[in-house]
Structure 1
Amino acid sequence: MGKSRSTTVLIAYLLSQNPQTNPQSALDLIRQSHPFVEPNSGFMEQLSLYHSMRCPSTQEALDNHPLYQRWLYRRTVEASVAAGVAPEVSELRFGDEGNASPMNLAAEERSTDLKSSEHPSEPKVLYRCRRCRTPLATSAYLVPHNTKRPVSSQPCAHLHLTPLSWMRPELEQGKLEGRLECPNEKCGQSVGRYAWQGMKCSCGEWVVPAMTLGKGRVDEIRERPRVGIRGGKI
C-alpha cells in the first residue's frame, strides 16, 4: 500500500539526489503529502547505512564499501547466532586479510609516515602482548562503540576489534565464545575473549560480535613524531 517498502525506495532516491538530505528529513518531506507512510525499522537502518556510505551509485561501489561489507557480515553472524551456532568457517572475515600479516605489524608501525600524513588527526596505536611483546593489532582495527557516552561514564576495560587472522585457529573451532591467546607459540598468554553473540563492555554497551583484548594484557605503543635534522617533524 506504499506505506513502508515504496517509501523506502523513494527516500533512497531523495538521498542519492541531494547529499544534504538525511533519511529522517526525507521521510518528513514525504509525509507532507502522505502522512500515513511508515518505513519499518529495518528499512530505516539500511537507509541510515546508505546515507553514511554517501549513497554509492553503482552496485560495484556498494559491494566494495567497507561499511556495507561489515553490515552484511554482521547479518551473517546474527543469523548463525540465532540458530545457536558459530558462523561457518567459509563465512569468517578477517580485517587484516590481504594486508600485512598480523605478525608483521611491527614493520607496519615503522611505515606510518605516509598514513599519518593522510590522517594527521588520527595518531596510530600498536597493541602488543604485555608478556612477550608480540604485535596483536593496531588502532585501524578497533571497532568503535558507545561513542555518545558521557565523559564521566565508566571507561572501557577492553579493546573491541574486528576479527584478525591470528584469531583464526580459535574461531575455526566453531565455538560461540572462548579465550583469545597470544599467537606467539612460546607465549600463549590469554589476551582477551570473544563471543559471537556479543558481550557487554564495562562501559555498559553491548558489542556484537565481540572480539576483545583486555587492556591489562596489552601495551599501547603510540606513534611519535620523527624529528628531522633541523628539528622539524617528519
Structure 2
Amino acid sequence: MESETLVPIVPNLYCGNLYDAENARLLKTLKITHILSVGQFPQIPLCHIKHQYLDVLDMDCQNMIQYFNQAYDFIENATKDGSCLVHCQLGVSRAPTICISYLIRKYRMTLKEAKKTVKAARPIASPNFDFLKQLQQYERLCQSKAQDSTNCDDSENIMVNRQPSYTNGNNMYSCKICRTSLFQEADVVLHCIGQHTHSYKKIRKDIKSDSIPLTCTSWFIKRKDWMGDMTELQGDIACPKCHTRLGSWKWDGSQCSCGTWVAPFIQILKSRLDCPVNANSETNDKVDQ
C-alpha cells in the first residue's frame, strides 16, 4: 500500500506505514535517521538508519501504554539531531497512538489537542477504542506528574492487558510427526477470542451463524529463525526437519477460527503439534530458535 505524502507532525517527526519505512528514496528525501516500527515486521535492511521495534498488535486487548515511555525516549533522542519516522502496517492506529502519546508528554498537550495535531499531518490516523482509553490514562498521568515536575514513568506499571496468561511459559511445543521442538509457550501471541465474529460469519457462508464455535484451532506465535525466509507477504510454514506443513503466515493479517482478526498472522495449526512438555525436561530434537 503506497502512502500519501508525509507531512511532519512536529519538526522532525513523521507518521507513516510499512511502505514508507521501506522506501529508501523517501527516507533520504525526508532525511530520516531513526525508524520506530510499531508491530511485528521483517527486519528492514537500512544500515544507515537507527531502528527500534515495539512488539505491538492492533487489538483492543493490547497493552499499549507500557511502551509509551520507551517510544518517547527513542523519538526524543532521534529528533535532537535527526528525524524520526514512526510506522505500523497502515499508519492508522498503532503508529498514530505512539505519536499522540509523545505529544502528550513532550508538549503537555491534552489528548484532544494531540489527536488533532496528528490528524492534521496524517488524516487517516484513527487509534482503536482501547488505545484511546489508554491514552486518556496516560494524559491524566502526565498531567498529575507535571504538577510534581516529574516524568510519566509510572505508565509501565498500569495494567490494562486483559488477555489470559499462562501459568508456565516453559512448555515446549513440537512437531507431531518428527517430535522436533519448535517453540515455547512464551512465544505464543495471545488475542481476544471472538472479537470479529460478524465478519467471520460473512466469510464462512457454509456455516450457520448460530453454530460457529468460538474456539481457536491454531496458535499464533512470534517469528522464529527456523521458519526461514519470510520476506514475501504470505506463505506456508513447514517443520525444519520433516518438512510437514505446520501453518502459514500473512503479514497483513487474517482471521483466526474464533473470528478475531490477527495481524501479523503467523499461524501454527494445533493439530500439527504434539502435546506440550516442560522445556526443562525436554528430550526432543531442538532447532535453533
Give the TM interval when normalised to the shorter protein. 0.3 to 0.5
Give the TM-score, by structure 2 length. 0.36
Give the TM-score, by structure 1 length. 0.44
